[in-house]
Structure 1
Amino acid sequence: MTEFEGRSALVTGAASGIGAATARWLDARGIGRLVLVDRDEAALGALDLRAQVRCVVGDVAEEALWDDIEQSETTLHHAVLNAGVADGCPIATLDFAEWRRILSVNLDGMFLSLRSALRLMTQDEDTVGRSAVLTSSVAGIKPVAMTAAYGSSKAAVAHLSRIAAAEYASQGIRINAVAPGRVDTPIWTKNAHFQQMVEDLGSREAALEKLAEDSTPLGRFASAEEMAGQIGFLLSDAAWNVTGTVLVSDGGYSL
């Protein structure tokens, strides 16, 4: 439970869902310092963590935000690059501004955050044991209708993680990605389709059950905490021999 003691970690999209769960997971295992990035200042401030915490409020696709983090942080051991947005419609009706919005956060923001994380990780001579996990999606692995922008951005994230792994393996820095399927997080439960299902079926739990039955062979959504545990494993020394992997965690959806 103290494996991460004295280490530092960056978590983006840290105010809710998988990001918040991973910040709590690391905190429970003794992480010394957390740099948490999100646009939701109130939710970041509400996280009750024991570690030394720096909250950075802003858009991950803004280069100036990352310039500031690079200039003010001295080292970094781990990174969980999780910030993302989702939406969907047929390609023929997809507005170009919406395409750019999703790719800006999911891909431009991922590039900027990964670049800064790697620069900070390599400021020390001893980089062995340092690791990063990028959040992709099963929509980046399996073609899913009406996810042109989201799925394309997440496919790029998966490949970006493999390229980074190839570049930094010789320095002992491991880089992997996770590709979740349906997870009980706001990116799913705040959309209009889910809210309509809640209204039609009478409860949030019934809506989650119905979605899982319709799309997930294992029959349920994952929790954010379960995804945090899988990310934590990839960050940890127990996964010392794992790099360049995209861990698909989708309950069988991609089969």
Structure 2
Amino acid sequence: MGEHGPLAGNTALVTGGSRGIGAATARHLGALGADVAITYNTAGERAAAVVADLTALGVRSVAVRAPATERGAVEAAVLEAAEALGGLDVLVNNAGIARYGTVGEVTDEDLDAIIDVNIRAVVTGTRAAIGVLRDGGRVITIGSNLAERVTSPGLAVYAMSKSALLGFTRGLARDLGPRRITANLVQPGSTDTDMNPAGNPTAAEQLSTSALGYYGNAADIAATVGHLAGPAGAHITGAVLTVDGGQNT
């Protein structure tokens, strides 16, 4: 669709947009017509490939390096992206990390990293975006179905970081409602990405709770984000959309 899609004339920023769900989301928003900025940490070549794909669609795109563990980096990236694109209509808080281990095994370094990337960067990046988001805009955060159901040991701290996004999203919806800016949370389940490939040794265990019995793919999550970002999502706010093949059913 490119420049003639339902998001034509809109601008979006996808954090962690160089690979996986973030890259799929950036490409999907571009296909819907949005100009799209992405952030990345170390995957510069992958980020450049996403930008090239978006440019080929006929939309503007830029990649900004923003290590989410560095204080101030995400906020600076939000403002740089908004300046490059001429404002911001959609923020997708996608960047995240996973550190596994029982509570007794998780180190202080693990805990700090998870809180900094999965919680603090979401809050501070959103705070920066509030000043540049146009009225009627969207804030969409990518969480995890583990926020609401933990079926295996070793996931407590990661699940904690994702459950924090539930309260944040619901409160944010109230804060931004007067400006008709929506805030929603998308919770993937087992999704075939670098972080959790469908062929990994725990795949069978993960799918044992799935109603559909197979891994999702990044395009499934991107499509949900696209719906929330578009005209059809205008009256959806404070919502949690779990896209997990029925794992949490």
Q: Structure 2 unaligned runs (5+)?
A: none
The structure whose residues are more often helix, as a share, is 1
Secondary structure of 2:36's counterpart equals strand
Secondary structure of 1:92's counterpart equals coil
Q: After superposition, where does 1:33-72 map in structure 2 within 5 Å?
A: 33-39=35-41, 40-47=43-50, 48-50=53-55, 51-65=59-73, 66-67=75-76, 69-70=78-79
**Residues 147, 99 of structure 1: alpha-carbon distance in 2 compared, 3 angstrom cutoff:** same
Answer yes or no: is 1:182 the counterpart of 2:176.
no
The code of the aligned residue for 2:28 comes to W
**Residues 108, 28 of structure 1: alpha-carbon distance in 2 compared, 3 angstrom cutoff:** same
RMSD: 1.9
Deviations 1:48-103 (A, max 9, x none): 11221111112124343223542662421011110000121111111121111111
22, 25, 28: which one pairs with 1:22?
25
The code of the aligned residue for 1:245 comes to A
Task: Say if 1:88 and 1:146, in contact at 8 Å, map to a contact too.
Answer: yes
Q: Which consecutive segments of 4 or more residues in structure 1 shift more than 4 A?
A: none
Indicate the larger mover: 135-144 or 150-159. Answer: 135-144
When normalised by structure 2's length, the TM-score is 0.88
145, 153, 166: which one pairs with 2:161?
153
CA–CA distance in structure 2, aligned partners of residues 135 and 183 of structure 1: 12
Residue 202 of structure 1: aligned partner? none
The Cα of 1:155 is off from its aligned counterpart by 0.5
Indicate the larger mover: 33-42 or 63-72. Answer: 63-72
Q: Structure 1 unaligned runs (5+)?
A: 198-206
Aligned residues: 235
The Cα of 1:252 is off from its aligned counterpart by 1.5
67, 91, 94: which one pairs with 1:79?
91
Secondary structure of 1:186's counterpart equals coil
Residue 8 of structure 2: aligned partner? 5
Deviations 1:151-182 (A, max 9, x none): 11100112111111110111110010011111
222, 225, 230: which one pairs with 2:224?
230
Residue 106 of structure 2: aligned partner? 94
The code of the aligned residue for 1:221 comes to Y
Residue 254 of structure 1: aligned partner? 248
Secondary structure of 1:158's counterpart equals helix
Task: Say if 1:212 and 1:220, in contact at 8 Å, map to a contact too.
Answer: no
Residue 201 of structure 1: aligned partner? none
Identity of aligned residues (%): 27
117, 120, 128: which one pairs with 2:129?
117
When normalised by structure 1's length, the TM-score is 0.86
The code of the aligned residue for 1:49 comes to L
Residue 150 of structure 2: aligned partner? 143
The code of the aligned residue for 1:115 comes to R
Task: Say if 1:212 and 1:219, in contact at 8 Å, map to a contact too.
Answer: no
Task: Say if 1:88 and 1:147, in contact at 8 Å, map to a contact too.
Answer: yes
